Amino acid sequence: MESGENISIVSDANVRLWQRFKAGESAALGQLAQVHYRWLYNYATKFSSDPDFIRDAIQELYLELWERRDNLSETAFVKSYLLKALRHKLIKESIKLKRFQEPGQAIFDSACEDMPIESQIIADENSHFQTSRIKGIIKLLSKRQQELIYLRFYQNLDNEDIANIMGLGRQSVANLLHRTLKDIRQIWTPAEFMWALLLFSLLF
């Protein structure tokens, strides 16, 4: 999933693909959809656990771009724009569908307070750290912080893209990220012993 990152439609092949799309060739839409489909699908799983709902939403997203293709600029197919449009759609749709949702489905979409992690550890006695301590720590972050960590370190987007997607100011993203990483650092005593093991397993 790491390759094909942040495709900007500038290279020759992409220019041709773009022209075919503009000319109304449905296969070109398929190829454009192929580029970011996995990233979009993954992001959507953080809002809904219903694969049908997710596939419908992504399908609709691309078909809307298709229907507006005459007035579309190339930025429409940049990853962060697609993620933003999908996020908007998912939140809108899940509000519409609220009655049918099972509890615990929405992962990122609730607006809750960013509580200090320490108090959450105390609050949540059930959350023991599993294989890796940092995994446990990330799961204790607020929804907003988790989404931030996810967009930064899973989708590998920069602060500007993240600000755009989450509808925040760029400075607030930078601040929140800084604070979140600091929070994590404070309670994360990285497993030095594990590192030594890891290094050995890599060397030999």
Partner 1 sequence: MKDYRFQTVEELATDDMFRTWVIAPTPEISSFWLNWLASNPQKSADVYAARELVAAVHEIYSDELPEAMLQQEIQEIARLAELRKNGKPSSILQVINKPIWRIAAICVLISGLGLAFYKNQNNRAVSTSAKSDIEANDVLIVRENHTTHDMTVLLSDNSIATLTAGSTIRYPKKFTNKVRKVTLTGEAFFDVAKNPEKPFLVYTDETVTKVLGTSFRVKALEKENTVMVLVKTGRVSVYPKTAYERLETKPDHNVAVIVLSPNQQAVFNRKENRLEKGIVIDRQLLSELSDQKELIFDDKPVSQVFKTLQEIYGISIVYDAAALTQCNITAQFSDENLKQRINAICQAIGASYEMVDGRIVISSSGCTQ
- SS3 of 174, please? helix
Residues in touch with partner 1 (CB under 8 A): 1-2, 5, 24, 26-27, 29-30, 33-34, 37-38, 41-42, 45-46, 50-52, 55-56, 58-59, 62-63, 66-67, 102, 131-132, 134-135, 138-139, 149-150, 152-154, 156, 158, 177, 181, 190-191, 195, 198-199, 202-203
Q: How far is CA 139 from CA 34, 145, 193, in A?
A: 30, 10, 23
Distance between CA atoms of 133 and 139, rounded to whole angstroms? 10
Q: Which two tokens stand for residue 103?
A: 């509890």
Distance between CA atoms of 159 and 142, rounded to whole angstroms? 18
